[in-house]
Structure 1
């Protein structure tokens, strides 16, 4: 084979390599929903048992903030309620004397009634006995009403104190540091024995069991995509080959934007692109910030 033919074949080979299509349609980086957990109380962090990379469950208690003063305030409010309620009258005891007088008056009423039947007493005496029974009964009713009003008034006085106790109990609950979502600790911002305040970040957590690839597509590609479409996500493997993951398009932007400088699309001549999110089940090898490619099958 002469030199001319060799040169032609070499040129064709180089041309074919130059026009070889990329194995992916778009690329981007992986991200996850990150949640910053902040303190809900003021004070010294007495315990914060977490480490970066540690997996946490939703509802798991990971520490607590000093609550001594709140506990003492609750005890003080409870003592105030006890002091107010100690003034509450015992209605049964208060009317016991009148009940005894009523019993005696009724007994006397019956005795005089029997004597009237035997002509041993006058009707006037029976009328007086009946009137005494009626008066004592009215006294008992009035006494019960007065004592009931006093008791109700004292109970109402304790209502604001009970509300204050409920507020303190809520503050005490917020002194416990409870992890709200399943996920792994990404960053730890505070340590035990440090002072904290309401709203101050303690740590950042993210659920990495499912991770999202944010990729950008061109206008022609955008028209071919739809929500819940199945795609293939490609990630560089340790052996130099791609690792493939099944993915699902979970979000497609309805607004075009200029191509981010760190992102390359299949057609670099396109200035405007559309952001998409592809949800991928993580096998533990996918990390936030890692680059990935997507093939629209």
Structure 2
């Protein structure tokens, strides 16, 4: 018996074309969830007002954390700090040093101490002479009076030393009390100077550059956007009935298109599952397109260089044969 086929406009049998379309649809839905790759993006902003003296980074540059990537003009802050430091130096010159004057008085006290020791030796000798009737009692009394007078003079000298040191310290405290707020102001200027240097906060790749050398920037104005692209997260959406099949820490397979009929597979780990449902985003297809409410999940994937932010990807935890 002769078998006939319904021909299409291109000459292909209609049954074969229908089988091809059905196979394509079946192949398209053999994933469990789909979404787009994303990364934690950091927008680095200026921390100082002024002209961008240098800003050599370019989009696509890979930067390290703590790396200096630019300089904002901080001339005014530097001049302000120099002025404050000059005021602090002037205050130091106003302070007094009690050491030279105190040294003179201490030498006077040493002389008095020597005279006292000599008088005490003389008293001992005279006391022996009085016992031997070789000296009078009046001579001994005169020596005792001289010793008492020397002790009073020495006490007065010691008090003079303490008073001089106390007066100098009080005077210096009054002068140095003006120094403390000046030092705080100097530290504030130094902080402004430090913030003029643009320091990259994280290791990653520059995604977008917002400013150019020579522009005048301001505090809070974005300079560039950076993200760590060594590891990306695929944010996908699943229906409620799939929640019982997944958990955080679970290894899954992530794949991206590689040509028209091939996929490139990656190993991934589910790091987050939303606790709240949301309406299906218009740009996301779920395994059951009739589902209105879905749950977001994130799958961490090590990037080999081919994954890009915003790229479409699919997640599988049921591996089809």
Runs of 4+ in 1 over 6 A off after TM superposition: none
CA distances 1:170-197 after superposition (whole Å, capped 9, x unpaired): 2111111000101000000011111011
2:201 matched to which residue of 1?
Answer: 180
Distance, in Å, in 2 between the alignment partners of 1:65 and 1:162 is 24
1:24 matched to which residue of 2?
Answer: 31
Of 260, 271, 280 in structure 1, the residue corresponding to residue 301 of structure 2 is 280
2:46 is equivalent to residue 46 of structure 1: no
Check the 8 A contact 1:251/1:278 in 2, yes or no. yes
CA distances 1:208-255 after superposition (whole Å, capped 9, x unpaired): 000111111112122211111111111111464111111111111111
2:155 is equivalent to residue 134 of structure 1: yes
Q: CA deviation at 1:2?
A: 4.2
Aligned 1:1-297 pairs, distance under 5 A: 1-3=1-3, 14=18, 18=22, 20=26, 22-116=29-123, 117-118=125-126, 119=139, 121-238=142-259, 240-297=261-318
Distance, in Å, in 1 between the alignment partners of 2:68 and 2:144 is 82
Q: CA deviation at 1:10?
A: 7.0
Task: Provide the alpha-carbon RMSD of the alignment.
Answer: 2.3
Unaligned runs of 5+ residues in structure 2 are 7-12, 127-138
Distance, in Å, in 1 between the alignment partners of 2:283 and 2:19 is 28
Unaligned runs of 5+ residues in structure 1 are none
Paired residues in the alignment total 295
Distance, in Å, in 1 between the alignment partners of 2:16 and 2:42 is 54
Q: CA deviation at 1:111?
A: 3.7
Taking structure 2 as the reference length, what is the TM-score of the superposition? 0.85
Distance, in Å, in 2 between the alignment partners of 1:283 and 1:142 is 78
Distance, in Å, in 1 between the alignment partners of 2:259 and 2:49 is 47
- Larger deviation, residues 171-180 vs 88-97: 88-97
Taking structure 1 as the reference length, what is the TM-score of the superposition? 0.91
CA distances 1:39-58 after superposition (whole Å, capped 9, x unpaired): 00111111112000000000
2:10 matched to which residue of 1?
Answer: none
- Larger deviation, residues 238-247 vs 160-169: 238-247
Distance, in Å, in 2 between the alignment partners of 1:269 and 1:122 is 122
- Alpha-carbon distance change, 219 to 97 in structure 1, aligned in 2, over 3 angstroms: same
